[in-house]
Amino acid sequence: MADTDTAAAGDFAEFVSHEEFRAGLAAGRFRVVVNPKLARRYVAQRLLLIVVVTPIIGVGLALALTGRTWPGALLVAAGVLLNRVVMWQAPRILLHMAQRDGAVYGFATEHGVMEVRRAQDR
């Protein structure tokens, strides 16, 4: 059991500073594993997605109910589409945010949203 613990421990970077992460990721020294479910939740909260999407959909519904059907439908579709695209691209958005902001990187690595692994030489 000690051998598997050692092998597993060698796979993960024990502590990687944000600066080392930024430089090492571009150079291919690290492999990043993102939990998509946690990334969706974190990105939606961090970008205040509900605060942006809800008024867009609400205004679209109001327009549709007042007789401006097409502009209303377009706004509702835009709000729903924006939400879907952000949720679908959440792991990539998280990686982009983590490369640029040390606070995002720290939170994501500490809370299991993102794992940083050393790249294996093959």
- For tokens 């579709």, what's the residue? 77
Domain extent listing, the chain: 2-118
- Give the pair of three-digit tokens for residue 107: 């939170």
Which conformational region is residue 99 in: left (phi greater than 0), alpha (psi within -120 to 50 degrees), or beta? alpha
**Measured at the alpha carbon of residue 11, what is the angle toward residues 26 and 121, in degrees to the nearest 5?**
55
Q: How many CB atoms lie within 10 A of CB 105?
A: 22
Q: For residues 85 and 83, what is the distance between their CA atoms, to the nearest angstrom?
A: 6
pLDDT tens column, 25-81 = 888 888 899 999 999 999 999 999 999 999 999 999 999 999 999 999 999 999 999
Could you tell me the pTM of the whole model?
0.79
pLDDT tens column, 1-27 = 344 444 444 455 477 888 998 988 888
